[in-house]
Amino acid sequence: MLSYHRGCVAIKGSQVNEIAQKWINQCQDIPFQKSLKAREGRDDTSGFHITVMAPKEKILTNFDVSQYELLLDPIELYDLGIGRKQDGHNTVYYVVIISPQLEKLRAELQLPHYDFHITLGFTQSDIHDVPKGISTLWMKSNHYAITLHQILEKGPVELPARALRDMGYLVGVFFLFKCVVKSMKLKERYNYVRDEVLCREYKQLVSGEDYGDRLVKILNRLSGRTQQSCGKPVNFYTYEIQDGVYQFKTYEMPRNFSFVSEKVAGASKPNDEQHWDAFEAMGVTDVITVMEMPMPVSLHRTRKLNSHFYEVDDRTPPTKQQMLQMMQVIDESEGKVVVHCLGGVGRTATVIVAYLMWSEEVSKFEGKQRLVGRKTILSQVQEDFLTDWYRVCREQTKLNVKLPPIIMMVGYPASGKSTFSKAMADASDSITRINQDEMGRKQCESLAGRTKASGGTVVLDRCNLTAKERKEWLSIMHNRKAWCIYYTVPWEECRWRITRRENHPGIKPGGGLRIMEGLRDTLEPPTNGERFDQVIELKGIEQANQLLKEWGCIVPASPSWAGHQIIKFPRTRHVVNLGAATRDDLIMAEGEQKKYLNNPIYICRGESRRSELGYQYS
């Protein structure tokens, strides 16, 4: 929450406190525990904060916090680790924070760059007016591995990491490698990152030993020139093998270039031959120009791609007819599509968000959230166009099934109920999703009554594990005609998923396992005898998506954990389980234990050093 705090404007609240407490708990080895009391003495015990505007900045006198509260709700805060600054015998500890929204706010107010941080504590007093950004991360503490892991999980490296599975498309390898070295300021630890992190860990992400060995060779070949390339805007390359040697060709891309989906990318004006060479190399078949003037024909005349021009003035949206034509171009394109204007920030963003709303049935807000990694500035008239465009997109969706007044979801937490319910609610204005975690029981009952009066369908998105719970809610809704969507995902699978769930409104971080343990033996499978006209069983994501398709709903994107679960093979056999066995392992029966212990035991120790592999038997 944005508010005034001790003469400055700051972000306060549970999100900031949770970030600070997380690093305090994870880094018990850092000797700042005593210094926390000094901070509490200054700020009292009301919690931690992130300074957005310091007291010395004159704009504070005319700054109205209320005008910006909604723009920063919700706010994205990325914590990169603990930083440290020293001044004589005085030391201050803080969490380094990156926030695109706060950076944008300061830019709009014409304020210079500011290193956002959460002060954890200090030995004597806080140290002001010094850098507290990523370059000040305290690399001597044991939190280094945690920090690196979190950076690798975030936005820009997520999609490139997936590219490691395909050895024919290695842009992800190069970008991931460069991102780690550059963003973490690890040039002094360059060899460690190259050999110990990338070559060891990511070798296992590709299928097959042959691919893994090839990947290591490619990374080693790249390593010699990656140090010199970090500061250059080279962000795409191709390669071919000549006489067993990898030959790489690099391309310089237009500014503000990025893919927002597998098919569509946005960019600034591609006014260089090399930009168009790169488009062809990455499989682009159509380029959409949204400007006052078309691109020179000489840039694309001889190329195997189509150029489409739509005359649109700066800071204005296309017409509805132009936008429909662009949607048709993208839908019918056999390859990738690049949309661009002059700077790639306004008209381009308008078209990209409109496409996401058109193809994936997301809201305007959700579409804009997909552009977090891009520089985006939308004028008010462009914002208004997207609001109206959402209505156009909703008109395209027609359900293929006549739904009952009530659809009740049944299943363990993390089984997939909310994803299914949201997809249904997004498909039609006549469908209302009710979720007790988000709005409370009384509001749920009130909303259910209003939906009944309007003749729509209520989707009750809660666990509903027992027959008693289901009977109670059917009674509240006056026992009208109802269907039951029953997720039969096993408890063990849901327990695994819930550990990877983030930002759930009804489950605090770390509380998911406790909740799952409490629900383990409570599920009572629903039956038609409970006054359900139909009970539909879904075993997982594939069946749920197939049902949504049959009903005419847009299939949602797969959750972050989908496709990344590791199934062990071969399954490890344990003599006795002391806590290390996974759900895929086998535990020996008593007879097997006796037979095993009566035989000689041989220990095999393996050791790998780069290309050398050795075993020792005893």
Query: Does residue 177 share a domain with residue 103?
Result: no
Query: Does residue 454 share a domain with residue 327?
Result: no
Tokens 């109802």 belong to: 482
Is 287 among the domain residues?
Answer: yes
Query: Does residue 139 share a domain with residue 8?
Result: yes
Query: Does residue 128 share a domain with residue 61?
Result: yes
Decide: 329 and 286 in contact? Cβ < 8 Å: yes
| Domain span holding position 144 | 2-154
Which pLDDT score is estimated for 355? 95
Question: Which of 26-30, 82-86, 410-414 ranks highest by mean pLDDT?
Answer: 410-414
Residue 28 is which amino acid?
Q
Which pLDDT score is estimated for 28? 64
Query: Does residue 258 share a domain with residue 179?
Result: yes
Residue 460 is which amino acid?
L
Is 68 among the domain residues?
Answer: yes
Is 562 among the domain residues?
Answer: no
Query: Does residue 353 share a domain with residue 458?
Result: no
Summarised one tens digit per residue, pLDDT across range 574-587 is: 777 766 666 566 77
Domain stop point among 133, 154, 175: 154
pLDDT at 113 over 80: yes
Q: 59: phi > 0 → left, psi -120 to 50 → alpha, else beta; which? A: alpha
pLDDT at 206 over 80: no
448 sits in which H/E element: helix 441-454
Say how far apart CA 463 and CA 183 lie, in whole Å: 42
Which pLDDT score is estimated for 226? 41
Is 223 among the domain residues?
Answer: yes
Q: Measured in Å, how far apart are the chain's first and last C-alpha atoms?
A: 62
**How confident is the model over 456-483, as a mean pLDDT?**
86
Higher pLDDT, 174 or 403: 403
Q: 361: phi > 0 → left, psi -120 to 50 → alpha, else beta; which? A: left
pTM beyond 0.85? no
156: confidence class by pLDDT, cuts 50, 70, 90? very low
Domain count, the chain: 3
Is 587 among the domain residues?
Answer: no
408: confidence class by pLDDT, cuts 50, 70, 90? very high
Summarised one tens digit per residue, pLDDT across range 553-610 is: 777 766 655 544 444 455 677 777 766 666 566 777 767 777 777 777 666 655 545 4
Query: Does residue 136 share a domain with residue 173?
Result: no
pLDDT at 387 over 50: yes
307 sits in which H/E element: strand 306-311
pLDDT at 255 over 60: yes
pLDDT at 299 over 80: yes
Q: Report the b/e string of 376-398 with b at 16+ CB within 10 A.
A: bebeeebeebbeebbeebeeeee
Lowest mean pLDDT segment, chosen from 42-56, 224-238, 316-330, 429-443: 224-238
Is 608 among the domain residues?
Answer: no
Query: Does residue 476 share a domain with residue 346?
Result: no
* Residue 182 CB partners (closer than 8 Å, separation 6+): 230
Domain stop point among 492, 518, 551: 551
Summarised one tens digit per residue, pLDDT across range 118-150 is: 988 888 888 888 889 887 887 544 444 444 444
* Residue 84 CB partners (closer than 8 Å, separation 6+): 91, 92, 93, 94, 136, 138
Decide: 456 and 399 in contact? Cβ < 8 Å: no
Tokens of 559: 């959750």
Helix ranges, 477-606 (H): 491-498, 512-519, 541-551, 590-597
Query: Does residue 110 share a domain with residue 93?
Result: yes
pLDDT at 480 over 80: no
CATH of the domain at 458: 3.40.50.300
Say how far apart CA 20 and CA 48 lie, in whole Å: 7
Summarised one tens digit per residue, pLDDT across range 55-92 is: 788 666 677 777 777 667 778 888 888 888 888 888 88
Domain stop point among 530, 551, 572: 551
> What is the average pLDDT value for the chain, to the nearest integer?
75
**What are the CA-CA distances from residue 178 to residues 2, 152, 215, 217, 251 (Å)?**
35, 12, 15, 16, 15
Tally helices (H) and strands (E) across the chain. Answer: 22, 22
Query: Does residue 172 share a domain with residue 145?
Result: no
Q: How many CB atoms lie within 10 A of CB 530?
A: 15
Tokens 């590709």 belong to: 206
Query: Does residue 82 share a domain with residue 55?
Result: yes
Least Cα distance to 471 among 406, 518, 413 occurs for: 406
**How confident is the model over 95-103, as a mean pLDDT?**
86
CATH of the domain at 380: 3.90.190.10
226 sits in which H/E element: helix 209-229
**How confident is the model over 517-533, as a mean pLDDT?**
88
Query: Does residue 312 share a domain with residue 381?
Result: yes
Is 363 among the domain residues?
Answer: yes
